[in-house]
Amino acid sequence: MADDHSSSPPHLCHSCGNPTTTAPPPTAAPWSDASPPPVYRPIRAPAINAPAPNTAAIILSPVPQPLPVPPLSFPHSFEAPSKKIASPDDIAHFHSIPAGRHFLGFVSALSHCSRGLKISDPVPISATISSLLSLLQALSSWLPLFPPLPHPSRYGNPAFRSWHQKLVDEASSVVLPLLASDDLRPASIELVPYLLDSFGNPTRMDYGTGHETHFAAFLYCLARLGVVAESDYPALVTRVFVSYLSLMREVQMTYQLEPAGSHGVWGLDDYHFLPFVFGSAQLVDHKYMKPKSIHNQDILDNFSNEYMYLACVAFVKKVKRGPFAEHSPLLDDISGVPTWSKVNSGLLKMYKAEVLEKVPIMQHFLFGSIIKWE
């Protein structure tokens, strides 16, 4: 006689669509328009009341694959980048042109090169990597110059504007060490705007996945210029991106930046997405740690310094109150997926769908001659 459960469909992760060992709660579907659980008190209303992720579309979409970065040919005429995306049709166009395909392929390549790599593992450190680390260290060293000011609001300390203005004033000087030749130096006209938009918006005093994506775009531009080579990719993730994440956590906590475009209770993190992508790649095929290991506090305490995914979960647990399954149901749901490989592939698909295909985020994305709108 057939097993009673043989015809039951597998439980699916609501974020990436992969099979999960965790059964859904006997309540309304989490992607309904229902309010967050009454026990949970969100620290803020979502800036964008975006609809829930289209789970079926994410499940059916292909996993983004690594692509080589097409090098620019020289001599090259650089131009100040500008915004081009204003509608869903523009989003579709972006993903149909080489710029969109190769940028996503670059993010996928960074994820792929991170597989099985701890943050402390030795990686080649080129002159470019050293310059990028010095750039981020310089930005970090400016924070004590602009301590938080007395301010009645919970979010957006105005001292952030002074720190960001220092970045505006010094941007060209911190970028030029990356551009060693006469052919490359004019590229600063394009690189500086990407860098400036990588650390939050000084007018709204917010930060979100769009700013994080601009930092990835800044690195992609360096790859197109030939300044970053594929051999630099492991260090881009475990040295440069880790340093960037550390700096942004410090900026967020120092100036209490508003989360830009937060999905509230149904988001991965109020500020970041890519650390979850790269961090899940780091844990692929780990002998002991599984996605469900995020619920083990000893693992978070002992291994957060080696794996970005664990560090991000630890940060979420630190800043949000209440049961984890209530304030972070998406992360809790993902923890039921059986393997890190499935988590990683699902998060790559989700990054494309929930960041690179969202007009409220991508309307701020910049296009010039390096990332070209055509």
The answer to whether the bond into 26 is cis (omega within 30° of 0) is: no
Please give the pLDDT value at position 268.
83
Please give the pLDDT value at position 23.
52
Note the pLDDT tens digit of each residue in 64-83: 999 999 999 999 999 999 99
Side chain identity, residue 45: A
The Cα 98–Cα 319 span in angstroms is 39
Band the pLDDT of 260: cuts 50, 70, 90.
Answer: confident
Burial 179-216 (b: 16+ CB within 10 A, else e): beeeebeebbbbbbbbbbbbbbbbeebbbbbbbbbbbb
The Cα 36–Cα 225 span in angstroms is 46
% of the chain surpassing 90 pLDDT: 74
- Would you state the structure tokens that stand for residue 230, as one six-digit string? 């594929």
More confident residue, 342 or 26: 342
CB atoms within 10 A of CB 134: 13
Cα dihedral across residues 193, 197, 198, 199: positive or negative: positive
The Cα 29–Cα 39 span in angstroms is 18
Flag whether pLDDT at 38 surpasses 80.
no
Flag whether pLDDT at 350 surpasses 60.
yes
Note the pLDDT tens digit of each residue in 222-252: 999 999 999 999 999 999 999 999 999 999 9
Helix H or strand E encompassing 206: strand 206-207
What is the phi/psi pair of residue 10, to 5°?
-70, 150
Please give the pLDDT value at position 319.
86
Q: What is the pTM of this model?
A: 0.85
Contact 143, 100 (CB under 8 A): no
- SS3 state of residue 319: helix
Band the pLDDT of 16: cuts 50, 70, 90.
Answer: low
**Region 368-373 average pLDDT:** 97
Note the pLDDT tens digit of each residue in 125-144: 999 999 999 999 999 999 99
Please give the pLDDT value at position 43.
37
Band the pLDDT of 61: cuts 50, 70, 90.
Answer: confident
Q: Distance between alpha carbon 19 and the CA centroid of its chain, in Å?
A: 24
Band the pLDDT of 89: cuts 50, 70, 90.
Answer: very high
